Amino acid sequence: MRLLVIANPNAGRGRCARLLPELRAWLGTTGHQIQWVISESREHLIHLARSGVKQPVDAVVACGGDGTAHYILQELVPSGVALGMIPVGTGNDWALGLGLPTDLRVACEILCRGKTKLIDVARAGEQFYVSVAGAGFDSEVNRLANQNSVWLRGKAVYVNAVFRTLSKFKPKRLEIEYDDHRFQGVAMFVAVGNLTSYGGGVKIVPQAQPDDGWLDVCIVKKTSRIELLRNLPLAYTGAHVHHPAIEMHRARRVTISSPDRMELFGDGEYLQDIPVTIEVIPQALRVIVP
């Protein structure tokens, strides 16, 4: 099997760079044709993926986090080339949602078996994403998390960003159309997911399935900062869905608009400002799975 591995040395606050020698050694013993390339920026990631799908490869492998996979995804969906993952990022919600192990040696073994599965992707404006996109409180947390200092790791990155965002956040005026229904009012945030979690394991749409042809929508209506903070731990198990301030829906097309300036983040990366229309594209990506 021929694999092109695109490694992002900055992923996981430098964790990828530290583990590269071990990862290369593990994959080097498999007998497969492995080509390694190292990205230097987001733009370079896209360039490497674009060049990679033109080669005779069986899969392009994202060695990094959700953001690394996100930029590679943009080139893979139109090409039909399969995506593999070595999850060495900060949140690794793609891996969680697709049942991929965080044990990196096992993840390398799975790559070499080459079993693939077709999954849905979401398209927000002109960009694709696979996990969850959010606008409002969660997108502001996401922005701060991406800017956090390198000494924080894993969930701590997002928890720190939550507390920093809480001190200044104001609820937003939102209009959300989901298929033939509409929500209009003041809300904390809206999340639209194809996988269950974001933010390093926050199961914001716990019923989401990556291959069912649906998007799962979570609307968190206006509530106090204390109430939001009190219920945050419930979201790690999905138990938050029973809270009276929360609406859960399913749709194939979601349009989000607001008179307030708001940003949309998906796969942990900035996608665009609101307004936006998000659509599900069924069976659009082949991924290597256990």
Domain 2-114 and domain 129-281, same fold? Reply is: no
Q: Token pair for residue 227?
A: 């109430």
**153 pLDDT above the threshold of 80:** no
**160 pLDDT above the threshold of 80:** yes
pLDDT tens-digit series, residues 233-277 = 999 999 999 999 999 999 999 999 999 999 999 999 999 999 999
Q: How far is Cα of residue 97 from the mean position of the Cα atoms in its chain? A: 9
Q: Model confidence at 148, in pLDDT bands (50, 70, 90)?
A: low
Beta bridge partners of 255: 177, 277
Say what percent of the chain tops pLDDT 70. Answer: 97
Closest C-alpha among 177, 171, 186 to residue 217 = 177
Across 136-154, average pLDDT: 78
| Residue labelled with tokens 């999905």 | 238
Q: Model confidence at 149, in pLDDT bands (50, 70, 90)?
A: low
The Cα–Cα gap between 85 and 95 comes to 8
**152 pLDDT above the threshold of 70:** no
State the distance between the two ends of the chain, measured CA to CA, in whole angstroms.
16
Burial 242-281 (b: 16+ CB within 10 A, else e): ebebbbebbbeebbbbbeeebbbbbbbbebbebebebebe
Nearest 5°: the CA angle 209, 214, 218 is: 80
The Cα–Cα gap between 189 and 284 comes to 27
Give pLDDT, residue 82: 96
Closest C-alpha among 166, 122, 163, 77 to residue 256 = 122
Neighbours of 163 (CB within 10 A): 11
Nearest 5°: the CA angle 64, 119, 276 is: 80
Closest C-alpha among 180, 169, 154 to residue 253 = 180
Q: Model confidence at 150, in pLDDT bands (50, 70, 90)?
A: low
The Cα–Cα gap between 43 and 20 comes to 21
CATH 3.20.20.70 fits 2-114, yes or no: no
Q: Model confidence at 222, in pLDDT bands (50, 70, 90)?
A: very high
Say what percent of the chain tops pLDDT 90. Answer: 78
Domain ranges of the chain: 2-114, 129-281
DSSP string of 165-183? Answer: HHTT---EEEEEEETTEEE
Q: For all residues of the chain together, what is the average pLDDT? A: 93
The CATH architecture one would assign to domain 129-281 is: Sandwich (2.60)
Give pLDDT, residue 87: 95
- Distances in whole angstroms, Cα of residue 284 to Cα of each of 97, 99, 164, 287: 16, 18, 37, 10
The Cα–Cα gap between 196 and 204 comes to 6
Half-sphere exposure for 47 (CA within 13 Å, toward CB): 8
pLDDT tens-digit series, residues 51-73 = 999 989 999 999 999 999 999 99
**154 pLDDT above the threshold of 80:** no
Q: Residue 47: helix, strand or coil by DSSP?
A: helix
